[in-house]
Amino acid sequence: MSALLSTTDLTLRIGDRTLVEGLNLTIQPGERWAVLGPNGTGKTTLLHTLAGLRPAQGGSVLWQGKALAVIPRRELARELGLLLQDDSDPFPATVLETALTGRHPHLGRWGWEGPTDLALARQALDTVDLADLAERPLSTLSGGERRRLAIATLLTQAPKLALLDEPTNHLDLHHQVTLLHKLREDFSRDGRALLVVLHDLNQALRHCDRLLLLYGDGRWEGGPATELASAERLSNLYDQPLRAIIDGTQALFVPA
């Protein structure tokens, strides 16, 4: 099976500090990766580099075997989606108009959204419980509603691989659970995959089958969650003693 995205000996630095060194990551269709680590360990920097928004200081990033840098941005945007940690409102727009921007990479240079694009946007808004707010101005939304709209825009884009930077920011518990479940379902089939930065360790283990642990000093570990999710390893990662509570077949991690 051909990898969607892969890195070879990827090195990331900020100033004279090495965040990640020699990262070899392969994301296959159907996989769900969670990126875990304390604040400042390079999680956002990594996502921006994988999306082609930031140069690496060593190594390479490949999209389906081709160097990321040589792929036209519009072509890449049809298949690779990025949810940023924070959103801005550069232009006045309605909720529906904003969701429809996810279809822009799929349109011709002078093309307009058609019925299929509109249906995808409305379906995405329904998924995030914003269908009733479709005609509302973006400026009137709360922080949680804006976050859900950003997720709806990514769902409307329908990429093969989604890179999500803290998608549960500003969301209440109900929307955290339901939207992570929806993302897990959508990006586990049809040759798609997911890589998501999360601070909730237990949510990550519930929805992802692979972990990428970033220690912030160049060290990293990646692989199946069943192998990496131990109290000892995660305590070392977060510099916080943790203990595992077994709930059925799943371990929940809490401060020791």
Residue after which a domain boundary falls, among 123, 156, 189: 156
pLDDT of residue 250: 81
pTM here is 0.94
Residue after which a domain boundary falls, among 156, 173, 190: 156
The boundaries of the domain holding residue 103 are 91-156
Residue after which a domain boundary falls, among 123, 138, 156: 156
171 & 245 share domain: yes
pLDDT of residue 107: 86
Q: Does residue 86 fall inside a structural domain?
A: no
pLDDT of residue 90: 64
Mean pLDDT by 10 residues, the chain (256 residues): 93 96 97 97 97 96 95 94 81 91 84 87 96 95 94 96 95 95 92 96 95 98 96 96 87 91
Burial of 229 (0-12, 13-18, 19+ CB in 10 A): buried
- What CATH number does residue 43 fall under? 3.40.50.300
pLDDT of residue 163: 98
